[in-house]
């Protein structure tokens, strides 16, 4: 009989640990809603003790998102556990996820604790959390590099103290499929009470083995898999949700397991997470990369024309990707546009549809064909996601001549009216950024800048992502336009708005004045 594997999504916690990724509360809620559509079993919403923003993100998700279990991460101490319990107060199905490292190297150099101390802290923290919340997940950080005998003792203590899930992380992506499978089997044979709890796996991708290791663990009896959309996460990332799910789906004959995931939501979730985090999906990425269903060579094309199964093991419709990518143009009407939104599974209120339709018409005027990706980009770019402090009204640039010098002027709208500034720069984008910086009146702290085309063709929609840094925190902004300078300016203003929303205007002004 097929076993059902629980899917624990940690895009909003471990995924957010991806360098350069910083999601605000609105973005976290948008992603959480997509995770509900995907039908994941557990959403790890964040690490509440980490920052007030993280706390707020977890509590908002706990309040607004119904259906999946909502988990919050804590170290193995009372202060962290209290923060999780408080943040999850309004959750329908709360879970405390507490962890402590068990490898000799982590215990000696990081925690400076003996094995006996770690055993005692494991028991205390699980017992403490259990007073408030029934569902407790315990993780032995760096489990794959821990002594197996000691690991069995730690998990036995956690289960005796009330853990409902024990997680076996490959924290540094060190293990191999055979070794990890053997570890899971060893735990199943040697940890008292393990048959009463879920066995979870959490794999990092440092050697590119996160998905392979997770699959081997499932074959060895793991019942829950932790993963992220697009494989985001600390360093090389975590096991990618879309790869795991499609491996289970496509090779059901081999793995003999099922999940509750609605595979048709995969492409949408991947696109959304990529846009909101500013982390591109590599073109040859399995399942969701641009080339995943592209056939370049003649022999392959010939085979696919005769029968797509010759070279396609998954059909793109299964992950919610439309085969017919040319859809709408400037002569399309509102009915066709609304119909397309529904096909893409966006059920938006009529006011949002009105705004999007106007943007679509504007885009269609500048672009011959509007692809599904363009429409999704417009939806993700919708203004309600971030309260705007500044709005780009217009800009002008003169560039060329010696040493790429350029001058730019910008007009920004604020609640106090219009502000206008001009500046020189090292090229048009630099000049526009400097003019915007002058208009807002404080040092913005540009950290990184990226520009890409959403679809192919000379009239493609350009997408710019800008990362700025303030007080150690990084904020990313995104801008869309068929004009790449305008896209860049919009992204810059968007990042500034996010930074102001996170830390408030007066504080920024004060810091700039000091």
Ligand X SMILES: CC(=O)SCCNC(=O)CCNC(=O)[C@H](O)C(C)(C)COP(=O)(O)OP(=O)(O)OC[C@H]1O[C@@H](n2cnc3c(N)ncnc32)[C@H](O)[C@@H]1OP(=O)(O)O
The total of other beta-carbon atoms located within 10 Å of residue 301's CB is 12
User: Annotation-wise, does 238 bind a ligand?
Assistant: yes
The total of other beta-carbon atoms located within 10 Å of residue 499's CB is 28
Of 204 and 367, the one with the shorter C-beta distance to ligand KIV is: 204
User: Annotation-wise, does 204 bind a ligand?
Assistant: yes
Write out the H or E segment, with its range, that includes residue 305: helix 298-306
Q: Tell me the CA distances in angstroms from 235 to 67, 104, 114, 320, 465, one per residue in order.
A: 30, 22, 28, 29, 20
CB of 27 vs ligand X, minimal distance in Å: 18
Nearest to 493 by CA among 372, 392, 401: 392
Give Dmax (Cα) for the chain: 76
Cβ(129)–Cβ(136) under 8 Å? yes
Contact between 239 and ligand X by CB under 6 A: the answer reads no
Cβ(382)–Cβ(469) under 8 Å? no
Quote the CA–CA distance of 128 and 107 in Å, as a whole number.
22
Mark the segment that binds ligand X (CB under 6 A) among 47-55, 192-200, 264-272, 317-325. Answer: 47-55
Q: Which does 110 bind (CB under 5 to 8 A by kind): ligand KIV, ligand X, none?
A: ligand X
Quote the CA–CA distance of 439 and 413 in Å, as a whole number.
10
State which of residues 234, 243, 372, 374 lies at the interface with ligand X (CB under 6 A). Answer: 234
Count of residues that interact with ligand X, criterion CB under 6 A? 15
Helix, strand or coil, per DSSP, at residue 192: coil
- Half-sphere exposure in the Cβ direction for 107 (13 Å, CA): 19
Q: Which does 167 bind (CB under 5 to 8 A by kind): ligand X, ligand KIV, none?
A: ligand KIV
Of 54 and 430, the one with the shorter C-beta distance to ligand KIV is: 54
Beta-carbon contacts of 165 under 8 Å, excluding residues fewer than 6 positions away, are: 95, 135, 136, 137, 138, 197, 198, 199, 200, 224
CB of 290 vs ligand KIV, minimal distance in Å: 29
Contact between 145 and ligand X by CB under 6 A: the answer reads no
Of 47 and 442, the one with the shorter C-beta distance to ligand X is: 47
Contact between 171 and ligand X by CB under 6 A: the answer reads yes
State which of residues 99, 180, 470, 492 lies at the interface with ligand X (CB under 6 A). Answer: 99
Q: What values do phi and psi take at 95, rounded to 5? A: -140, 130
Of 24 and 141, the one with the shorter C-beta distance to ligand KIV is: 141
Mark the segment that binds ligand X (CB under 6 A) among 72-80, 129-137, 153-161, 175-183. Answer: 72-80
Helical spans, DSSP H, in 367-441: 372-380, 428-440
User: Annotation-wise, does 14 bind a ligand?
Assistant: yes
441 sits in the region (left: phi over 0; alpha: psi -120 to 50; else beta) called left
Nearest to 100 by CA among 167, 148, 48, 187: 167
Summarize as ranges the residues that interact with ligand KIV (CB under 6 A).
Answer: 14, 99, 139, 141, 167, 169, 171, 202, 204
Contact between 286 and ligand X by CB under 6 A: the answer reads no
State which of residues 47, 55, 433, 467 lies at the interface with ligand X (CB under 6 A). Answer: 47
Q: Which does 30 bind (CB under 5 to 8 A by kind): ligand X, ligand KIV, none?
A: none
State which of residues 20, 26, 37, 77 lies at the interface with ligand X (CB under 6 A). Answer: 77
Write out the H or E segment, with its range, that includes residue 30: helix 25-38
Of 14 and 242, the one with the shorter C-beta distance to ligand KIV is: 14
Cβ(194)–Cβ(165) under 8 Å? no
b/e string for 376-390 if b means 16 or more Cβ within 10 A?
Answer: bbbbbbeeebbebbb
Q: Which does 139 bind (CB under 5 to 8 A by kind): ligand X, ligand KIV, none?
A: ligand KIV
User: Annotation-wise, does 362 bind a ligand?
Assistant: no
The number of residues in the chain equals: 514
Q: Which does 202 bind (CB under 5 to 8 A by kind): ligand X, ligand KIV, none?
A: ligand KIV
Of 200 and 455, the one with the shorter C-beta distance to ligand KIV is: 200
Contact between 157 and ligand X by CB under 6 A: the answer reads no
CB of 333 vs ligand KIV, minimal distance in Å: 49
Quote the CA–CA distance of 62 and 43 in Å, as a whole number.
10
CB of 234 vs ligand X, minimal distance in Å: 5
Copy the structure tokens of residue 40.
């994941």
Mark the segment that binds ligand X (CB under 6 A) among 74-82, 318-326, 399-407, 460-468. Answer: 74-82
Q: Which does 100 bind (CB under 5 to 8 A by kind): ligand KIV, ligand X, none?
A: ligand X
Quote the CA–CA distance of 64 and 357 in Å, as a whole number.
28
Of 141 and 372, the one with the shorter C-beta distance to ligand X is: 141
Helix, strand or coil, per DSSP, at residue 502: helix
Query: Binding site for Mn(2+), residues?
Result: 14, 202, 204, 238
Instruction: List residues near ligand X by CB under 6 A.
Output: 14, 17, 47, 49-50, 75-77, 99-100, 110-111, 141, 171, 234
Query: Binding site, residues?
Result: 14, 202, 204, 238
């Amino acid at each position: 009989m097929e076993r059902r594997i629980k899917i624990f999504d940690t895009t909003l916690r471990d995924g957010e640990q991806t360098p350069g990724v910083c999601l605000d509360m609105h973005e976290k809620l948008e992603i959480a809603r997509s995770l509900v559509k995907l039908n994941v079993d557990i959403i790890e919403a964040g690490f509440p003790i980490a920052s007030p923003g993280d706390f707020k993100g977890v509590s908002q998700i706990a309040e607004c998102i119904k259906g999946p279990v909502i988990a919050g991460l804590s170290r193995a101490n009372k202060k962290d556990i209290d923060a999780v319990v408080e943040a999850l107060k309004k959750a329908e199905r709360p879970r405390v996820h507490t962890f402590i490292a068990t490898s000799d190297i982590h215990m000696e150099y990081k925690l400076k604790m003996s094995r006996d101390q770690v055993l005692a802290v494991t028991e205390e923290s699980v017992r403490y959390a259990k007073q408030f919340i029934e569902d407790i997940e315990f993780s032995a950080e760096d489990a794959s590099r821990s002594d197996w005998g000691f690991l069995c003792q730690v998990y036995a203590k956690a289960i005796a103290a009330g853990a409902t899930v024990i997680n076996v992380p490959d924290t540094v992506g060190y293990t191999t499929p055979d070794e990890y499978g053997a570890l899971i089997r060893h735990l199943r044979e040697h940890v008292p009470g393990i048959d009463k709890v879920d066995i979870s796996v959490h794999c990092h991708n440092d050697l590119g083995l996160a998905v392979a290791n997770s699959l081997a663990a499932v074959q060895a009896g793991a019942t829950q898999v932790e993963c992220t959309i697009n494989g985001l996460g600390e360093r090389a990332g975590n096991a990618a949700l879309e790869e795991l799910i499609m491996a289970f789906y496509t090779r059901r004959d081999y793995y003999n397991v099922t999940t509750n995931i609605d595979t048709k939501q995969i492409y949408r979730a991947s696109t959304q997470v990529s846009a909101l985090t500013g982390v591109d999906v590599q073109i040859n990425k399995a399942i969701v990369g641009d080339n995943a269903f592209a056939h370049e060579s003649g022999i392959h094309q010939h085979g696919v024309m005769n029968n797509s199964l010759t070279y396609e093991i998954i059909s793109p419709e299964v992950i919610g990707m439309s085969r017919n990518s040319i859809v709408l143009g400037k002569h399309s009407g509102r009915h066709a546009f609304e119909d397309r939104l529904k096909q893409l599974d966006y059920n938006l209120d009529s006011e949002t549809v009105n705004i999007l339709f106007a943007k679509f018409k504007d885009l269609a005027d500048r672009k011959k064909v509007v692809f599904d990706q363009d429409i999704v980009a417009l939806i993700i770019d919708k203004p309600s996601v971030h309260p705007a402090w500044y709005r780009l009204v217009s800009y002008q640039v003169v560039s060329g001549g010696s040493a790429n010098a350029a001058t730019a002027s910008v007009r920004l709208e604020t609640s106090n009216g219009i502000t206008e500034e001009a500046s020189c720069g090292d090229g048009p984008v630099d000049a526009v950024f400097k003019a915007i910086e002058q208009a807002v009146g404080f040092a913005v702290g540009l950290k990184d800048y990226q520009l890409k085309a959403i679809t192919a063709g000379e009239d493609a929609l350009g997408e710019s992502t800008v990362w700025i840094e303030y007080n150690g925190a990084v904020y990313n902004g995104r801008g869309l336009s068929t004009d790449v300078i305008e896209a860049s300016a919009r992204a810059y203003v968007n990042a500034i708005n996010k930074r102001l929303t996170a830390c408030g205007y007066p504080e920024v002004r004060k810091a700039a004045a000091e």
